Structure 1
Amino acid sequence: MNTSLKVLLIDDHEMLLRGLTLLFETIEGIDIVATTTQGGQSLSLARGHAVDVVVTDAAMPGVDGLRVVKMCAKEFPVLVLTTFDDAKLVSTLIAAGASGYLLKDIQPEELARAIRAAVSGGLVLDPRIARFAHGTVEQRSELAILTRAERGVAELVSLGLTNKDIAGQLVLAEGTVKNHVSQLLRKLGAKDRTALALRLARSLQNETA
Structure 2
Amino acid sequence: MISVLVVDDQQLLRRGLRLLLGTEPGIEVVGEAADGQEALVMVERRRPDVVLADARMPGMDGLELVRALAGLDPPVTAVVLTTFDDEDIVRGAVGAGAAGFLLKDVTTDQLAEAIRAVARGGMVIDPRVARIAFGPEEVSSPDPLAILTRAERLVAERIARGLTNAEIAAELVIAEGTVKNHVINLLRKLGQRDRTGLALALYRALS
TM-score exceeds 0.5: yes
- Stretches of 4+ moved more than 3 A in 1? 135-138
TM-score normalised by the chain length of structure 2: 0.62
CA separation of 1:137/1:30 partners in 2, compared to 1, >3 Å: closer, same or farther? farther
Residue of structure 2 in register with 1:194 after alignment? none
- 3-state SS of 1:45 partner: helix
Instruction: State yes or no: 1:58 paired with 2:55.
Output: yes
Task: State the Cα distance separating 1:137 from its structure 2 match.
Answer: 9.7
What per-residue deviation string (whole Å, max 9, x for no partner) do you get for residues 141-193 of structure 1? xxxxxxxxxxxxxxxxxxxxxxxxxxxxxxxxxxxxxxxxxxxxxxxxxxxxx
Counterpart-to-counterpart distance in 1, 2:137 and 2:82 = 19
Instruction: State yes or no: 1:118 paired with 2:118.
Output: yes
Task: State the Cα distance separating 1:47 from its structure 2 match.
Answer: 2.5
Counterpart-to-counterpart distance in 2, 1:92 and 1:62 = 17
Gaps in structure 1 of 5+ consecutive residues: 139-209
Task: State the Cα distance separating 1:43 from its structure 2 match.
Answer: 2.0
Counterpart-to-counterpart distance in 1, 2:122 and 2:36 = 23
Q: Percentage identity across aligned positions?
A: 46
Counterpart-to-counterpart distance in 1, 2:124 and 2:136 = 13
> 1:128-167 to 2 correspondence within 5 Å?
128-135=128-135
Counterpart-to-counterpart distance in 1, 2:19 and 2:89 = 28
Contact 1:94 1:136 in 2 (8 A): no
Residue of structure 1 in register with 2:18 after alignment? 21
Gaps in structure 2 of 5+ consecutive residues: 139-207
- 3-state SS of 2:135 partner: helix
Contact 1:91 1:136 in 2 (8 A): no
- 3-state SS of 1:109 partner: helix
CA separation of 1:137/1:84 partners in 2, compared to 1, >3 Å: closer, same or farther? farther
Residue of structure 2 in register with 1:91 after alignment? 91
Task: State the Cα distance separating 1:136 from its structure 2 match.
Answer: 10
Counterpart-to-counterpart distance in 2, 1:51 and 1:59 = 21
TM-score normalised by the chain length of structure 1: 0.62
Which residue of 36, 41, 44 maps to 2:38?
Answer: 41
Counterpart-to-counterpart distance in 2, 1:137 and 1:94 = 16
